[in-house]
Amino acid sequence: MSHDVVAPPPPRTVVVTGGALGIGGGISRRFARDGDHVVLVDIDADAAAATSAEILAAGGRVSVLVGDITEDDTVARLASHVADEHGHADILVNNVGDFRPAKSFFAKSPPEQWRRLHELNLWHVFSVTHALLPGMIAHGAGSIVNVSTVEAFRGIPGNAVYSAYNAGVSAFTKSLAVELGPSGIRVNAIAPDLADTPQTTAELMLAGRDPALLRSWLPLGRFGRPEDFAGVVAFLTSDDAAFITGHTIPVDGGTLAASGWYGKASGRGWTNMPDQA
């Protein structure tokens, strides 16, 4: 009887922008744990070094590129690194995004803030994807996952510009998926909400409120963790998702599904009147 040993698949090259902390850090650690080589791009050198050290200590593969991904020089250095060291990227995760800086109301917001929000939430998605696509197309395969937000699918007062740019991320995801399907490249996105990360800590979001109230705000009753989002990204880039492209998957504990309904504080039923929650 033959007992052939099946060799593990070769490590994939995975580029993660903003890959040091929060959701990006969770994504970097997940791919490294799965045996892939992570190219971690981050503006925070200390955070990148710490996450890299953690990955290496666990036996993973990682290389670090420090820089602002909204700048052309950083994108060019990333493209050169990937081409020189790996030939092409198998997976690209465009994770960088931020609702800051932002005024409370659009009418009071200066145009320079719109420009920075554009760079942080939409422009770099275009520029990084554009830089790494030729290698994927030549290889005839690849997977791109963009990080949008649930705020692209509902009104959010005080963050109209941020919401608009992330709606653009999801629209770009859908259209690019159609365009790149014949090239063997899939494009999807996730839409997080209420993630407990260094950018938006649980303490900041609670702002002194009773944590027990979480069960009335979110159907699943808790904030998201980095690994919650990383698991969905890992799925979308796996063979199990080989027939999924062009979609934005909410990873939000049920907030979009609830659509303004809140669990009553008494635990008895639901209300769409927050003052009764």
To the question of domain 13-199+223-254 being in CATH 3.40.50.720, the answer is: yes
Of 31, 99, 153, 162, catalytic: 162
Residue entry with tokens 């990084």: 128
More confident residue, 245 or 159: 245
Nearest alpha carbon to residue 161 among 200, 103, 204: 103
The token pair that represents 28 in the structure block: 């970097």
**Band of pLDDT at residue 216, cut at 50, 70 and 90:** confident
Please tell me the distance from the alpha carbon of residue 98 to that of residue 184, in angstroms, as a whole number.
31
Q: What is the pTM of this model?
A: 0.91
What does the pLDDT look like over 68-92, one tens digit per residue?
Answer: 999 999 999 999 999 999 999 999 9
Is 162 tagged catalytic? yes
The residue-averaged pLDDT of 212-226 equals 87
Q: Give the DSSP per-residue string, 72-96.
A: HHHHHHHHHHHHHHTSS-SEEEE--
